[in-house]
């Protein structure tokens, strides 16, 4: 195989040539059949499925595409956006300020460059529930071809689908991008190639499946000041080489993808917000005039203006400080709440039409869980004893999305997730059209808030394996006038074996 000679001229008969011709066609068919067959086998195998499930780039966009509710507001960016943009807090602020229930998704992926944004946008446009607004978060290195090389390739081979080819052709600066995406859309082996090579040649084991997140959002633990500072300094050192002239180079094929994203969003009448990256103060040292950052951000601003997008300088939101970060540019869950509140209040709500003077709601709060005890409730089991808490308990991540000062929380200091219990409300007569409340915590079948009518469970809701409470609305018209009870059930003892409930209201 090291070197192959050209065959000598032959003196084959016509029939021998015909046999050779047939053999060549058979061999070609066998060649393609083997290649397609191998990929098909990989697709059906546990290995192929596991490798696909490992990839955030494959699972998250697929989750979004398969989510029947889609998103009214879609946030896109890299891991900074993934950590900082909290869909539930954003939903809550919009509901509070505009009385509108919009669905928000966080499409931030680690290292995702504008190429990934465009691929997400194509998915959003083909979703039956198209977004009204898209947020594009830009990071300092997104237009450096060297840094974005690996995530670019991953974006091309995972998020793009065959039907996205026209957008890719419009945006791509070279044909290779288009053909790579096309090839990957056909072959799973190409989509999971880096991991496949690791598994086969370096014998690395399989990784656990990628976290599905909650509407794309990922909780991020907070860090104390010293840890945050040490991590930030480490990251800044890494960035210095990439961002400081003359080694750094601004400008790459990613610019084409960014422009195409803006153009596409404008063409479809989708409001667009371009966000400057969120950074702790330690990053300022390397974002000065010697870095590519000013040139980078000036170009981003100009393009935003050109395509009618709103540019938001969210580098240092006034409501945040270094304590909200876990390193130089990733925020903790608490930081994400502050960031999302600020972003929603200052920009998203005004762009949606501003605050509305909402008429006083006719909803009547029946259980706000603000008191020290639950009067009239039947409490059975340690999990529901002393369940009223003012937020997170020891060992619990930051709890968000509740109203007032307290909520119902079955995560106990002494037992963590291992305790179980059932809390049952006094009997009441259903006299409204809707019951509204907020719920968080685990998603297992043993955990639920249930509406029981005549001893039968007629409505049920649970958390999304998250400490962020989300709003639930039950239409209960058909049980009007009937006697019912609310039951909060925590029967799970493993991870996410607790439930959070707040603000139960009856709405006519």
Partner 1 sequence: MLFTSFTFLYFQVLVVALRWSLPRRVVGPMLLVAGYTFYLSAGPIYALLISSVTIATWFAALHIERTRSKWMLGVSIAGLLLILGYFKYANFVLEQAFGIYRLLGGRPRSVHYSIVLPLAISFFTFELISYLIDVYRGEQAERSLWRFSLYIVYYPHLIAGPIVRAHELLPSLRSFKSFDGRQFSDGMFIALAGYFKKTVLADNLAPWADAVFSHPAAHSTFGTWMGVIAYTGQIYCDFSGYTDIARGCSLMLGLPLPDNFEYPYLSRSITDFWRRWHMTLSRWLRDYLYISLGGNRRGVLRQYRNLFLTMLLGGLWHGANWTFVAWGAWHGVLLCVHKVWSDKVVGTGPLVRARETLPYKVLAGSLTLLCVMAGWVLFRARTFQAASVVFGRLVRDVPGAGVMTGELPQPLSTAISCTVVLVIVHIFGYSHAGFDANRAMPAPVRGVFWAVIAIACFLLAESRATFIYFQF
Among residues 145, 152, 170, 180, the one that binds partner 1 under rule CB under 8 A: 180
| CB nearer to partner 1: pick between 95 and 198 | 198
State how far Cα 473 lies from the chain centre.
23
Angle subtended at Cα 355 by Cα 351 and Cα 360, rounded to the nearest 5 degrees: 150
Count the site residues for partner 1 by CB under 8 A: 40
How near is the Cβ of 106 to partner 1 at its closest, in Å? 31
- Using CB under 8 A as the binding rule, whether residue 197 contacts partner 1 is answered as yes
| CB nearer to partner 1: pick between 18 and 302 | 18
Neighbouring residues of 19: CB distance < 8 A, sequence distance ≥ 6: none
How near is the Cβ of 238 to partner 1 at its closest, in Å? 21
Among residues 200, 233, 413, 494, the one that binds partner 1 under rule CB under 8 A: 200
- Using CB under 8 A as the binding rule, whether residue 41 contacts partner 1 is answered as no
- Using CB under 8 A as the binding rule, whether residue 428 contacts partner 1 is answered as no
Among residues 130, 161, 183, 240, the one that binds partner 1 under rule CB under 8 A: 183
State how far Cα 53 lies from the chain centre.
15
How near is the Cβ of 129 to partner 1 at its closest, in Å? 34
What are the strands, taking DSSP E only, across 103-249?
104-108, 133-137
| CB nearer to partner 1: pick between 6 and 394 | 6
Q: How many CB atoms lie within 10 A of CB 421?
A: 20
| CB nearer to partner 1: pick between 181 and 461 | 181
- Using CB under 8 A as the binding rule, whether residue 397 contacts partner 1 is answered as no
Question: What distance in Å separates the CA atoms of residue 376 and residue 128, rounded to the nearest whole number?
Answer: 46
Among residues 95, 132, 182, 397, the one that binds partner 1 under rule CB under 8 A: 182
Contacts 24+ apart (CB under 8 A), 160-164: 160/119, 160/122, 160/184, 160/185, 161/122, 161/123, 161/185, 162/186, 163/122, 163/126, 164/119, 164/122, 164/123
Please report, as residue ranges, which positions from 317 to 376 form the binding site for partner 1 (by CB under 8 A): none
Give the pair of three-digit tokens for residue 87: 């869909």
Q: Interacting stretch for partner 1, rule CB under 8 A, among 177-185, 362-370, 408-416, 435-443?
A: 177-185
Q: Interacting stretch for partner 1, rule CB under 8 A, among 5-13, 62-70, 281-289, 417-425?
A: 5-13
Neighbouring residues of 432: CB distance < 8 A, sequence distance ≥ 6: 364, 476, 480, 506, 507, 508
Among residues 63, 96, 196, 473, the one that binds partner 1 under rule CB under 8 A: 196
| CB nearer to partner 1: pick between 4 and 226 | 4
> Judging by beta carbons within 10 Å of its beta carbon (0-12, 13-18, 19+), is residue 7 exposed, middle or buried?
exposed
Q: Interacting stretch for partner 1, rule CB under 8 A, among 182-190, 230-238, 390-398, 453-461?
A: 182-190
Nearest to 321 by CA among 266, 282, 360, 265: 282
How near is the Cβ of 38 to partner 1 at its closest, in Å? 6
How near is the Cβ of 381 to partner 1 at its closest, in Å? 54
Please list, residue by residue across 392-406, b when 16 or more beta carbons sit within 10 angstroms of its beta carbon and e when fewer do: bbeebbbbbbbbeeb
Please report, as residue ranges, which positions from 14 to 33 form the binding site for partner 1 (by CB under 8 A): 17, 19-33
Question: What distance in Å separates the CA atoms of residue 75 and residue 55, rounded to the nearest whole number?
Answer: 19
| CB nearer to partner 1: pick between 14 and 224 | 14
Which residue reads 């799970």 in tokens? Answer: 492
How near is the Cβ of 34 to partner 1 at its closest, in Å? 3
State how far Cα 377 lies from the chain centre.
38
Q: Interacting stretch for partner 1, rule CB under 8 A, among 83-91, 135-143, 190-198, 401-409?
A: 190-198
- Using CB under 8 A as the binding rule, whether residue 162 contacts partner 1 is answered as no
- Using CB under 8 A as the binding rule, whether residue 4 contacts partner 1 is answered as yes
- Using CB under 8 A as the binding rule, whether residue 226 contacts partner 1 is answered as no
- Our CA dihedral for 94, 99, 103, 105, rounded to 10 degrees, sits at 0
How near is the Cβ of 7 to partner 1 at its closest, in Å? 5
Q: Interacting stretch for partner 1, rule CB under 8 A, among 188-196, 229-237, 306-314, 438-446?
A: 188-196
> Judging by beta carbons within 10 Å of its beta carbon (0-12, 13-18, 19+), is residue 508 exposed, middle or buried?
exposed
- Our CA dihedral for 325, 330, 335, 337, rounded to 10 degrees, sits at 180
Neighbouring residues of 341: CB distance < 8 A, sequence distance ≥ 6: 89, 93, 319
- Using CB under 8 A as the binding rule, whether residue 34 contacts partner 1 is answered as yes
| CB nearer to partner 1: pick between 132 and 193 | 193
Task: Quickly list DSSP for 419-442.
Answer: --EEEEPPPEE--SSEEEEEEEE-
How near is the Cβ of 157 to partner 1 at its closest, in Å? 10
| CB nearer to partner 1: pick between 29 and 495 | 29
- Using CB under 8 A as the binding rule, whether residue 175 contacts partner 1 is answered as yes
DSSP-derived pairing of the beta strands 407-409 and 499-507: antiparallel
How near is the Cβ of 158 to partner 1 at its closest, in Å? 15
Question: What distance in Å separates the CA atoms of residue 359 and residue 101, rounded to the nearest whole number?
Answer: 16
How many helices and strands in the chain, by DSSP H and E?
16, 17
Among residues 15, 201, 357, 478, the one that binds partner 1 under rule CB under 8 A: 201
Which residues form the interface with partner 1 (CB under 8 A)? Answer: 1-7, 10, 12, 17, 19-35, 38, 175-176, 179-180, 182-183, 189, 193, 196-197, 200-201
């Amino acid at each position: 195989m090291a070197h192959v000679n050209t065959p000598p001229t032959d003196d084959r008969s016509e029939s021998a040539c015909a046999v050779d011709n047939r053999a060549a066609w058979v061999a070609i068919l066998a060649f393609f059949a083997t290649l397609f067959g191998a990929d098909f086998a990989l697709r059906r195998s546990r290995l192929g499925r596991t490798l696909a499930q490992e990839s955030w780039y494959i699972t998250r966009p697929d989750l979004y595409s398969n989510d029947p509710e889609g998103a009214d507001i879609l946030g896109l960016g890299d891991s900074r956006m993934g950590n900082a943009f909290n869909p539930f807090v954003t939903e809550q602020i919009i509901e509070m300020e505009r009385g509108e229930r919009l669905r928000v998704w966080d499409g931030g992926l680690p290292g995702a460059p504008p190429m990934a944004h465009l691929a997400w946008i194509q998915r959003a446009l083909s979703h039956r529930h198209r977004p009204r607004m898209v947020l594009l978060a830009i990071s300092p290195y997104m237009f450096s071809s060297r840094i974005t090389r690996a995530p670019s390739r991953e974006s091309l081979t995972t998020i793009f689908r065959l039907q996205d080819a026209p957008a890719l052709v419009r945006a791509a600066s070279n044909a290779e991008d288009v053909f790579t995406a096309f090839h990957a859309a056909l072959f799973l082996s190409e989509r999971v190639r880096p991991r496949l090579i690791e598994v086969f040649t370096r014998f690395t084991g399989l990784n656990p499946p990628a976290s599905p997140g909650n509407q794309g959002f990922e909780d991020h633990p907070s860090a104390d000041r010293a840890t945050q500072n040490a991590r930030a300094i480490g990251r800044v050192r890494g960035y210095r080489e990439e961002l400081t002239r003359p080694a750094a180079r601004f400008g790459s094929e990613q610019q084409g993808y960014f422009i195409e994203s803006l153009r596409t969003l404008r063409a479809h009448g989708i409001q667009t917000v371009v966000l400057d990256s969120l950074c702790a103060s330690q990053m300022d040292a390397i974002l000065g005039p010697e870095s590519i950052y000013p040139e980078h951000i000036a170009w981003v601003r100009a393009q935003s203006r050109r395509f009618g997008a709103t540019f938001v300088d969210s580098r240092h939101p006034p409501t945040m400080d270094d304590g909200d970060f876990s390193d130089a540019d990733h925020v903790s869950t608490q930081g994400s709440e502050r960031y999302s509140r600020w972003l929603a209040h200052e920009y998203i709500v005004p762009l949606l039409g501003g605050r509305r003077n909402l008429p006083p709601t006719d909803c009547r709060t029946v259980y706000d869980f603000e008191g020290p005890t639950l009067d009239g409730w039947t409490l059975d089991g340690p999990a529901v004893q002393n369940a009223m808490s003012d937020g997170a308990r020891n060992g619990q991540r930051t709890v968000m999305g509740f109203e007032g000062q307290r909520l119902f929380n079955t995560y106990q200091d002494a037992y963590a997730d291992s305790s179980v219990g059932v809390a049952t409300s006094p009997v009441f007569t259903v006299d409204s059209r809707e019951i509204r409340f907020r719920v968080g915590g685990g998603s297992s079948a043993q955990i639920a808030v249930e509406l029981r009518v005549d001893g039968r469970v007629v409505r049920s809701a649970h958390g999304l394996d998250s400490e962020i409470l989300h709003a639930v609305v039950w239409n209960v018209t058909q049980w009007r006038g009937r006697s019912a009870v609310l039951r909060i059930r925590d029967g799970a003892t493993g991870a996410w074996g607790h439930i959070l409930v707040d603000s139960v209201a009856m709405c006519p």
